[in-house]
Structure 1
C-alpha cells in the first residue's frame, strides 16, 4: 500500500473517467476539482444525501487554530471556497471572521503570544479590548476581558452547499450523481477499474477515489485494510433565529486548549493555573458558535474518542454551552430547536492533513481529515489531483 501527499508530475491532458465513492465534502470537493480539470465524474452516495459529519458541523472554514504545517493548506482552502462561491453562490460562503472571547488573564496571555508571532498577519489576528470587540460584533454585550479577532476565518452553509455544488457540476455535462447507491465491489481489470453497486449496476472507470467519511468498515476496509484513523463523536445544537446579526463566529477560551496553533508556554501556564470547568473537561469541550443564514445559531461542541459511542446525547454539555454563549451575548439564547451527534474520522498521525492510500492501481482511498473537513476539503482535493497528475 502506498500513501503520499505530494504532486507527482504535470496535469494530465487526456480526460479520464473518474468514479468517486462518497457524497460528503471530501468526495464532492474531489468531484469539483476533477470537473474543473476537464475530466468526467460519476459520484455515488449510499444515502439520499450525505448525512454524516459533512452536514453535522458548523460550516466553519477555520484558519485561526490550525497548526503551522496546516496553515498554508487552510489559507489555500479558504481562497478556493471564495472562488467556489463566485461560481456557486448557493453555498452561502461569507468571509465573516471569528472572535475568540477571553475571560481570564491567562487566556489573554495566550492571545498576546499569538499576535506577537511571525505568522499573526497571515492568520489575520488582532487582539481587541471589549469596546473594539463590540464595534466588530455588536451582538456581544456580555462579559469578557478581550477578544482575539481572526479575519481569515469564514463559513459556508453546510446543509445546502453540497446540493448546490452538484447542481453546478451537472451543468458541465460531464457529471452524474447516483444517490441511494452503495458500491459493493471495486476491482482492477485490464481496461481500468470495474465497479458494481447494490442495484447490480456496473461501471468502468479509469480512476476510483473512495472518500468514506467515518464509515471505515465495509468497502474501505475491503480495499485498504485497517486504516490508521480513529473516529471522533461530537454533540451540537441549533437555535431558533437570534433576531439580530452575529457578525462573526465566536469561540471561547477553551478553544485555545483544543486547537494546535495555540501550543506554547503561555498555553502551558493557562492549563496549570486554570483547570477547565468539570463538564467541559469531562466532555473535552470548547464553545464554537456561528449564525446560519436563517438567523439561528449552531452551537457546539464535545469530543468523544472511546468506542463504542453512546447512541444518545448528554444534556450536561448543552447546559454548559448555553451558559457560556449567554454570558458572551449578555442575553438569553433563543429556543433550541435541534440537537444532534455526529462522527468523523481523524488521522492518528497528527502530521498528516488526510490519509491517502493506493491499495491497487487506479484506486485511491482518501479519509481522515478530522474536524477539518469543511475547512480543508477544497485544498485536499486539489492536492490529490496534483498528486495523481490529473
Structure 2
C-alpha cells in the first residue's frame, strides 16, 4: 500500500526535508505522481555525501537478489532522469575492474559464471580487450571485468541540474534552501525561521545526521548500530577520503576499479575470493579500494577509504592518498596530473540487517528514509520510487 494512501492523501502536497540526492529523488518521484513538493535544505546547497562521491551508478558489485534488483531499477530510472536533466551528466559508460594478479582474475572468471552475470552485463576481457574498451589504461595488468550496465553522473552538478529540471516542469516544486527543520507534527514540519510546512506526507532524508529532528525517533526506536542492545545492527556512519586531480590528458571511457574492490562488493563473494592475498598494509589499514572516474572537465576523481569507528578524525591521512594515487598511475601507465582537491565525507548505512536502507514512520504523515550507504547515488531513484508505490 502506498504511504500516501495509508495516511489518507488529501492535499496532494509533499514536504521533503533534505536537499541531497535521496531527498531530490523523492521530489522527482513525487512530481511524477502529480504531487506538489516543498523541498527544504538547511544549507544553501547540498554539501554532504551526495556531492562527496564518485557519481557512480554501480550495478556491478551489488548483492544478488533484492539489492541487484533495486540497482537495476535505479539504473533504468537514471536513464530517463538523465535525459530530462542532461546537466546531471548521466552517461552509460560501463566500468572496468582490473586484475593485477591471477587470483583476482580467478574471482572475475567465477563471477561471470554466476546466474545473474547477464543481468549485470559482465564479461572478462584480456589486456588487449581492456585497452580496446578503455585506451587510457596503458599499465601492466592481466585482464579486467567489464560491466556494461554501470553508469556515471556528475556529483557536483547533479543536484542543481535535477532541481532545474523540476522547476522547468511547471508549478508544483518549491526549493527552500537555508531552512533547517526543527520541529515535527503529523504531516508537518517547522523550520528554524518559525514557518510551518504542511502536507499529506513529510519525507525526512537527513542523511548521516542522526541528531536533529530524526534523532529522538532513531534513539527511541533503537535504530542506531551503536545503541545498547543493538548488537551492532542498525544505522551507522562511514567516513571516506577522496581526491580530484587537474585534467588528465587522456580520455577514460569507463569508470575504473582495481582488484581490491573485489573484497568490498558482495557480488564477488565466490569461492576464489578466499584465495586473494592480503592487501597491502596501508590499504588494509584504511580499508581502501581504488575507484577512478573521469569528470566531464577531464579531471580524475580517485578514492576511497572506509572508517567506521567514531569519533572520526577531523583530518585526512596522506598515506592512503599516496597508495591510491600510485595504484591509479600504475593502471594508467602514466603520471597523474597534480591533485587539485582532497576531501573527506560521511554517509549513513544500515548494517547487521538484510534491509538495503532504512525507512520508518516517525509519526503519522512523517517518514524517515536514510542509510543506503555506498548505494546512495546508485539506488536513490528506486528507493524514492518505493516510498510512493
Q: TM-score, normalised by structure 1?
A: 0.93
Tell me the residue number matched to 2:240: 234
CA distances 1:327-378 after superposition (whole Å, capped 9, x unpaired): 0000000110000000000002342111101021101000100011000000
Deviation of 1:224 (Å): 3.8
Distance 1:130 1:367 in 2: 40
Tell me the residue number matched to 1:90: 87
Residue among 69, 74, 79 paired with 2:76: 79
Report if aligned partners of 2:93, 2:151 keep a CA contact under 8 Å in 1.
Answer: yes
1:121 aligns with 2:127: no
Deviation of 1:268 (Å): 1.3
1:365 aligns with 2:357: no
Distance 2:363 2:10 in 1: 21
Report if aligned partners of 2:122, 2:147 keep a CA contact under 8 Å in 1.
Answer: yes
CA distances 1:112-165 after superposition (whole Å, capped 9, x unpaired): 001111211110100000000000000000010011011000010111111111
Report SS of the residue matched to 1:312: coil
Q: TM-score, normalised by structure 2?
A: 0.93
Residue among 185, 188, 199 paired with 1:187: 185
Report SS of the residue matched to 2:49: coil
CA distances 1:85-134 after superposition (whole Å, capped 9, x unpaired): 11111110000000000011110000000111121111010000000000
CA distances 1:188-212 after superposition (whole Å, capped 9, x unpaired): 2xxxx23211111122221100011
Q: Aligned ranges for residues 1-390 of structure 1 at < 5 Å?
A: 16-69=12-65, 70-171=67-168, 172-188=170-186, 193-225=187-219, 226-227=222-223, 228-270=234-276, 274-386=277-389
Deviation of 1:222 (Å): 2.5
Q: Describe the shift of the 1:349–1:16 C-alpha distance in structure 2 as closer, same or farther (beyond 3 A).
A: farther
Distance 1:19 1:9 in 2: 12
Structure 2, unaligned stretches of length 5 or more?
A: 224-233
Report if aligned partners of 1:95, 1:154 keep a CA contact under 8 Å in 2.
Answer: yes
Report if aligned partners of 1:15, 1:38 keep a CA contact under 8 Å in 2.
Answer: no
Deviation of 1:14 (Å): 5.9
Deviation of 1:13 (Å): 8.7
- Aligned residue pairs: how many? 374
Q: CA RMSD in A?
A: 1.6
Structure 1, unaligned stretches of length 5 or more?
A: 1-5
Distance 1:25 1:60 in 2: 13
Report SS of the residue matched to 1:94: coil
CA distances 1:59-106 after superposition (whole Å, capped 9, x unpaired): 000000000131111011011001001111111000000000001111
Report SS of the residue matched to 1:51: coil
Distance 1:98 1:52 in 2: 25
Tell me the residue number matched to 1:3: none
Report SS of the residue matched to 1:286: coil
Q: Following TM superposition, where does structure 1 have runs of at least 4 consecutive aligned residues deviating by more than 4 angstroms? A: 6-15
Report SS of the residue matched to 2:50: coil
Deviation of 1:384 (Å): 1.0
Distance 1:57 1:194 in 2: 31
Greater Cα offset, 8-17 or 26-35: 8-17
